Amino acid sequence: MGIARINLVEAKNSSNHVKIKFKNGKIDTLWLHCTVFPLFCKNCQQSQTGLFLHSGSRYGQVGSLPCEFCGASIAIVDHDNIVESIKVNDESCSFEKLYLLGADYIEWFEEWYGITMAPESLFEGWTNWVSVDQLREQIETLTGIETDDGVRYQTDERFNPLPPDINRWINLLDKSTVPLPDYVSKIGE
């Protein structure tokens, strides 16, 4: 149970996950379980350097840590089962919005490229949990899009940097010409 600061190498070895429910071969529900994320301090409004690894909670209480800039406590709360969002000092953060991990993006690939994400053996029901990298690699294989692991994005100025698997996912969306929200920017351009 808790939260730990991790470096970029450790972040590359940790994964955020998705689970998809299909109904009649179409995406019915998408669950997220995000365990690697950036944090910010609500007190001084500073993004914390590095990334953080969520290692569990008890009754939704993940833990807290001091801000590296002002020393104020940064308290993290989740929903106690799967981590689709967190609260940072009572301010909600949706990973679907922050990481652009909504069913509508996956459905866009299915429509635009004429692919299906439903395995032949699973026309109805839930997939197993897969990492965001596995989902991205499957879409890359089906569409022929190649992503770049050196590109970085920002989806909220408070939550920076994004984890490597999420930058690569957003790069897939960007290269596919999926319409990205206005709040998304490429860092370094």
Model confidence pLDDT, tens digit, residues 11-65: 999 999 999 999 888 899 999 999 999 999 999 999 999 999 999 999 889 999 9
119 located within any domain: yes
> Residue 187 falls within a domain, yes or no?
no
- What pLDDT, in 10s, does the model give residues 143-171? 999 999 999 999 999 998 999 999 999 99
127 has a pLDDT exceeding 90: no
Residues 6+ apart with CB under 8 A from 117: 20, 22, 27, 106, 109, 110, 138, 139
In a domain, 37, yes or no: yes
Assigned domain for 22 exists: yes
When pLDDT is cut at 50, 70 and 90, the band that residue 189 belongs to is low
- pLDDT score, position 80: 77
Structure tokens at 91: 């301010």
**pLDDT exceeds 90 at position 124:** no
Q: Is the pLDDT of residue 1 over 90?
A: no
- Residue 120 burial (CB count, 10 A): 7
In a domain, 189, yes or no: no
- Total domains present in the chain: 1
Q: How far apart are CA 20 and CA 31, in angstroms?
A: 6
Q: List the domain range (segments joined by +) for residue 74.
A: 3-177
pLDDT score, position 9: 86
Q: What's the whole-number average pLDDT of the chain?
A: 93
CA-to-CA separations, 45 to 64, 98, 154, in angstroms, rounded: 16, 17, 16
Residue 72 gets which letter from DSSP? Answer: -
**For residue 125, pLDDT beyond 80:** yes
Which pLDDT score, from 0 to 100, does residue 120 have? 75
Predicted local confidence at residue 81, as pLDDT: 83
β-strand pairing of 61-66 with 17-23: unpaired
Q: What percent of the chain has pLDDT over 70?
A: 98
Q: Is residue 186 part of a domain?
A: no
Q: Does residue 182 lie in a domain region?
A: no
